[in-house]
């Protein structure tokens, strides 16, 4: 009689937390304002406002939008605020920054609003690999959020995890 293979990982009390499971659906779009600037560098208010009024804002319907300028132009703060006012009620989320900044902001909000009561006194592994663009800061936000309730926090996979925190 052969020894039965036992999956000890499946029998353990480990809870795997996969941030990829929380990746919200929706288009991610970048609004680069360089083409709205004189020679790509100088914001002329009258012309800028004309571009804002003529722009087709409907293309951002339900999308997550990152606004930025890809040139080294000095853009006054009111310009991005004006754009966010136009996008408000159209886009799901609007930030000034890169796509990474956008994903970070999205995940920060998701993690802040998580019900973590189910993780009270649990052994948690934060899964490290993902196929979706989970930003590095999301892992930090999650560990910080779980630390007050978790018995232990690890990172990686159940078969090769790295211990991060263990309550004393």
**CB count in 10 Å sphere of residue 22:** 16
Distance, CA of 54 to CA of 40 (rounded, Å): 18
Q: Which residues contact 4 (CB under 8 A, 6 or more apart)?
A: none
Distance, CA of 87 to CA of 63 (rounded, Å): 10
| Model confidence pLDDT, tens digit, residues 56-76 | 999 999 999 999 999 999 999
Kind of pairing, strands 123-126 and 93-96? unpaired
Alpha-carbon separation of residue 150 from 8, 18, 21, 110, 133 (angstroms): 21, 15, 19, 18, 25
Sheet (strand 14-17) strand order:
14-17, 123-126, 152-157, 160-166
pTM of the model: 0.84
Please check the confidence at residue 5 and state whether its pLDDT lies above 70.
no
Q: Which residues contact 121 (CB under 8 A, 6 or more apart)?
A: 149, 150, 151
| Model confidence pLDDT, tens digit, residues 85-136 | 999 999 999 999 999 999 999 999 999 999 999 999 999 999 988 888 899 9
3-state secondary structure of 33: helix
- The pLDDT of residue 9 is 47
CB 137 within 8 A of CB 115: no
């Amino acid at each position: 009689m052969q020894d039965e293979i036992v999956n000890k990982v499946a029998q353990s009390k480990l809870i795997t937390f996969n941030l990829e499971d929380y990746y919200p659906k929706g288009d991610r779009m970048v609004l680069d304002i360089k083409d709205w600037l004189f020679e790509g560098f100088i914001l002329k208010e009258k012309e800028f406002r004309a571009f804002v009024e003529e722009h087709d804002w409907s293309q951002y319907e339900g999308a997550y939008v990152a606004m930025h300028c890809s040139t080294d132009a000095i853009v006054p703060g009111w310009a991005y605020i004006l754009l966010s006012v136009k996008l408000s009620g159209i886009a799901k989320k609007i930030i000034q920054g890169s796509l990474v900044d956008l994903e970070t902001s999205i995940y920060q909000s998701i993690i802040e609003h998580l019900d973590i009561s189910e993780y009270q006194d649990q052994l948690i592994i934060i899964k490290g690999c993902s196929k979706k663009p989970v930003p590095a800061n999301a892992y930090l936000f999650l560990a910080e959020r779980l630390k007050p309730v978790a018995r232990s926090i690890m990172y990686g996979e159940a078969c090769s995890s790295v211990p991060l925190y263990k309550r004393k």
